[in-house]
A and B are shown apart, each in its own frame.
Chain A
């Protein structure tokens, strides 16, 4: 039973560039959430996708956008990269319509902005 998988593992970009991160949810899950984890902090919620629509959004600028595909996989896009976007980006999946179900996380993509 495959868990949540993310790609790539590491990425180095320069300021002003654009990046796309990818996530495949755990088998059977239909909801994908994205989080940003800065060094020494807990993960911060970016947004959540269910049925290919953005269901909930955290306090992140419009430079952060996403997409969910019919097979439930998801992409996170960040435009006009800033130095402050350097962080670990985590994807989590869950069952969208069931109560008291935990989100399961992938190992993340480490994004470094030079």
Chain B
């Protein structure tokens, strides 16, 4: 049972435009959500997170939106840059991050110069 789903395996976006990556979850006990970015031959790098008590969190070019009623979150990157090309993983946890992380299967983002 896949509790965290990323339904788009890949996404291509023109440089300078907005990239929107989506993630859905089924477990209503999740209360902390994270996005990680992964380059080949490296471990996942933490990007941004959001607690269930918020619906938006922003850090520079990255914004995460959380819609609890729809059990949906999204990552917006604006403007997109070539260095953003990577695989992006959505992850979720219970107990505000003190429990294990459950990951989606990832979305490969390609920024076209």
Residues of chain A at the chain B interface (Cβ within 8 Å)? 4, 6, 33, 35, 40-45, 48, 56, 58, 90, 92, 94, 96-97, 99-108
Contact = CB atoms under 8 A, between A and B. Distances in A.
B98 A103 contact: no
B16 interface: no
A90 B42 CA distance: 10
Given A40-B105, A43-B103, A100 B96 contact: yes
B26 interface: no
A90 B43 contact: yes
B80 interface: no
B12 interface: no
B101 interface: yes
Interface of B: 4, 32, 34, 36, 41-46, 49, 51, 89, 91, 96-106
A101 B44 CA distance: 15
Given A90-B44, A100-B51, A108-B43, A58 B104 contact: no
A97 B32 CA distance: 15
A47 B64 CA distance: 28
Given A48-B100, A94-B97, A102-B97, 9 more contacts: A42-B4, A42-B91, A43-B44, A43-B103, A45-B100, A97-B98, A101-B97, A103-B101, A108-B43
